[in-house]
Amino acid sequence: MPLVTPLEATHDLETKKLAEFFNETLGFCPNSVLTMQHRPEISKAFINLNKAVMANQGRVTSALKRMIAWVSSNATGCRYCQAHAIRAAERYGAEQEKLDNIWNYKTHSAFSDAERAALNFSLAASMVPNAVNLEIKEALYKYWNEGEIVEMLGVISLFGYLNRWNDSMGTTLEEDAIDSGNQYLGKHGFNVGKHNGSKY
């Protein structure tokens, strides 16, 4: 079982209304949000931050944001967030070849140099200790402006919170997310791990 039991979706009606956002992104309300409802101000603030960070402002597409989230979650080892991020990338139109080869983004021809710069930034920013350096900065500025870099770091930081939350909580992974994880990540050893809901 997870560290803390998720509450019913109807526990806090304001959270329930805000969580309709996830019907588009994932197709369901995540168990992480249902757990945050133990303190509704946290669940509501989280959803509003998520909406702001994931708002599509232009060239940093919704699909790329979700791939940035996946790289960040892969770096920290959070299976829950890996499955959610790859599922959302698919739902937001990431190309099949990119979904199938996200593990090899550094070398696979499906990824542009601009995307590689963004994904390398995500990897470096998600490491402990942080690995963002001048080389990462210079690569970013070849392709992206400051507002776009802020958007990217917003995604990375949001998933830093989620990776800590869900791995510490042992949040139970939803069936649809498991299906997406198996489909796109299974060939590289994806498994549910502690997120199976049967034990902590």
Give the residue among 124, 125, 95 at the shortest CA–CA distance from 108. Answer: 95
Closest CA to 160 of 61, 49, 59, 60: 49
Token pair listed for 12: 């806090």
Is 111 domain-assigned?
yes
Boundaries of domain holding 43: 13-194
Q: 44 lies in a domain?
A: yes
176 Cβ contact list (under 8 Å, min separation 6): 26, 27, 28, 87
Per the structure, how many domains does the chain have? 1
CATH number, domain containing residue 27: 1.20.1290.10
Report d(CA 121, CA 124) in Å as an integer. Answer: 5
- The whole-number average pLDDT for the span 146-163 is 98
In a domain, 122, yes or no: yes
Among residues 155, 171, 132, the alpha carbon closest in space to that of 65 is found at: 155
Q: Would you say residue 50 lies in a domain?
A: yes
Residue 108 lies in a domain: yes
pTM: 0.95
Tokens of 140: 């970013």
84-135 residue pLDDT tens: 999 999 999 999 999 999 999 999 999 999 999 999 999 999 999 999 999 9
